Chain A
Amino acid sequence: MSSERQKDVADEELLERFRSGSARAFEELMRRHQTPLYNFILRSVRHPQTAEEIHQDAWLRILQGARDFQRASKFTTWAYTVARNLCIDHARKAVLRRHPSLEQPSGDEDGPSLGEVLPDRGAAVDRAAIGNELQVRIAAAVDALPAEQREVFLMREYSNLQFKEIADIVGAPENTVKSRMRYALERLQQALAEYEDYARALG
């Protein structure tokens, strides 16, 4: 069961091999999916340390649930459902801790939301990693997306999940998912256009 051969194997087959006792099959599953899953979590919770904890927790739950996994379903659907639920739990706990919502506009209706005002560490990671004005703006735009738009965008753009699968994960009709995706992409396109205007103005 070499890794070369495993590359051609479907996720579900790898999971089955893990259930047959192959730890390497599960490691291959992790190798395949941990980066997009982590980025999905990171951009959802916007806090690297929390993201890391949730990421590990998600894989632990996947590991523990592997025995009960129904082969008929898709591995990524299940894995992202687990990760998304953990992110939602985290957000709920944050609300229970009476933290003000990051998306609630501060002051009047048109004011920036708290999420836009606070220096968030997810954006900080981006800035440190890239130092690129465009990327900073795009990252800010992604962070500013409503959660339901953002999660769809992240799963489609970074995790390469199909709309139908995303619909299964978020529990919404596929058309709803697509419209959320559309809003997200148009918002990013606006951010890009603003940046291009800004860059043009700089000359």
Chain B
Amino acid sequence: MDCDACNNLLLDYLYEELDEAGASAMRQHLQGCSACTEALDRLALGRRAARSLPVLDAPAPSAALLAAIHAEAPAPKLRLVTGGSGSVAAEAPEPPRGKVPRWLQRVGEVAMRRQVAMAAVFLLMIGFGLSYHQLQAPTRPLPTSDDPGPTVIPARPVPTPAAPVGAAQRQADERRPSARAANVERALDHRAPTPAPTATRGGSLGEAQSAAPPAPAASPTWARTTEAAPEDDSMHHGAPTTYRSQPPPPAQVPGSIATTERVSGNRDLDRGMPPLQVDSPAPVAQQPNVAAQGNGTQQWAAPQPQAVQQGVLGAEQGNRLGQRAQNQNTLAVAADAWRDLQQQGNTASERGQQDAAIEAWRRALAANPPAAERRAIALRLVTALNGEGRAAEASEVQAQHLSRTNAVVDLEGQVPSPSAAGTQVAHPSRPAPSRSMPVRRSRQMPSAMDSYSNMAH
């Protein structure tokens, strides 16, 4: 071996890439060649220098890489298992595997097109709209065919009104006893409630008063929401029986006798009947936040935007019809107690008999009127008390019936009125009236909530 050959193989020798024969030949040459030995020493020194460098540990493989390893591994395994006899057999099972996804892919591509998505949304909207209208449709005939309760809906504008107007109207109705019956009949014909009674009722006051409801009544929303309160309707339905059995109109029978009779009779009814739930949900309706603090029933009765209410109407209707059948009689009679008392108060007030009016309104409040009416009555009562200089009582009434926090008190069953307290306990399962409350209130006291519900429609 000469120096050139040795020089060419120095690195192979240094890195031990030579076979044993080549290595021994190199060793022989190097022993007798100082130049080649010196060259090798320089390279060896360079290698020694390189070995002084640290070798850094590789970072751990990322989770994605490890996952990829395990994801990649099984697929070839399948191929091997099936392809033990040869690659042809291995290929065989794959085409069907590939074909199905390809077919599915095409379907998927079509399904993922924008037009398809738009069409689907369009169909959904149509379907939703249809079901929405179907939801409304059955709710109307149901009450009228099974139960005359809702048919009295048109009469609701009559008692509902807040103050003297309602009284005058009631008087007008009672002067013409057939008016209510006519209303009932009319309502049987026109499911949509209000406009007809308004037109026939005639009296200037009555017209002025009921001018408000017809506007919403024309819209289906109004019809629905009024029907949403069959409990109320049942009470209204029951109300005429009281009137018929006790014709003396408070307006015509002045003062004390009629008042005491009515009051005592209604109190008996109050005591004997299952406590009313009419009142308790009302504060809930007025104060949505409070609902969360109530018991389960009241939470259920928590007021919702009308749109939401309508959504659940169909589902709850049957339930409420059954409840109504149970409670109709007692409730209906008792439910009117406050109305008579309210009227008496109104009448007395108009006649300047403030004490009698105050007393009547107090009783009316004690008879669990619905929240809207309660507020109306309480407002008048407070006004009258203030007018009489009984500011302390006025503020008491105000705190009890008009303050917002009152709702909490009601919900917790701490209402001073025994009937109200009883109401809470005994009828936890009658949440329905609360549904009517926002509607009724909206006709009397426009509020933020009303404007919200108006916007919703």
Contact = CB atoms under 8 A, between A and B. Distances in A.
B49 interface: yes
B49 A189 contact: yes
B58 A35 contact: yes
Interface residues of B, number: 39
Interface in A127-184: 129-130, 132, 134-135, 138-139, 141-142, 153, 156-158, 162-163, 175, 178, 181-182, 184
Interface residues of A, number: 55
A30 B62 CA distance: 12
Given A26-B73, A188-B47, 15 more contacts: A21-B78, A23-B69, A26-B69, A30-B61, A42-B56, A56-B61, A56-B65, A59-B65, A134-B49, A142-B50, A181-B11, A182-B11, A184-B46, A188-B45, A188-B49
Interface in A49-77: 52, 55-56, 59-60, 63-64, 66-67
Contacts, number: 132
B68 A35 contact: no
Contacts of A153: 50
Nearest to A59: B65
B58 A191 contact: no
Interface in B34-87: 42-43, 45-59, 61-62, 64-65, 68-70, 72-78, 80-81
A38 B61 CA distance: 11
B388 interface: no
A126 B54 contact: yes
A181 B42 CA distance: 13
A186 interface: yes
Contacts of A27: 69
Interface of B: 8, 10-12, 15, 17, 42-43, 45-59, 61-62, 64-65, 68-70, 72-78, 80-81
A113 interface: no
A119 B146 CA distance: 92
Interface in A82-139: 125-126, 129-130, 132, 134-135, 138-139
30 contacts: A20-B76, A21-B74, A21-B75, A23-B69, A26-B69, A26-B73, A35-B56, A35-B57, A37-B58, A38-B56, A38-B58, A38-B59, A39-B58, A55-B59, A56-B64, A60-B65, A60-B68, A63-B72, A64-B68, A126-B53, A129-B56, A135-B52, A157-B47, A157-B50, A158-B55, A175-B8, A178-B8, A182-B10, A185-B47, A186-B42
A129 B56 CA distance: 9
A55 B58 contact: yes
Nearest to A134: B52
B54 A189 contact: no
A3 interface: no
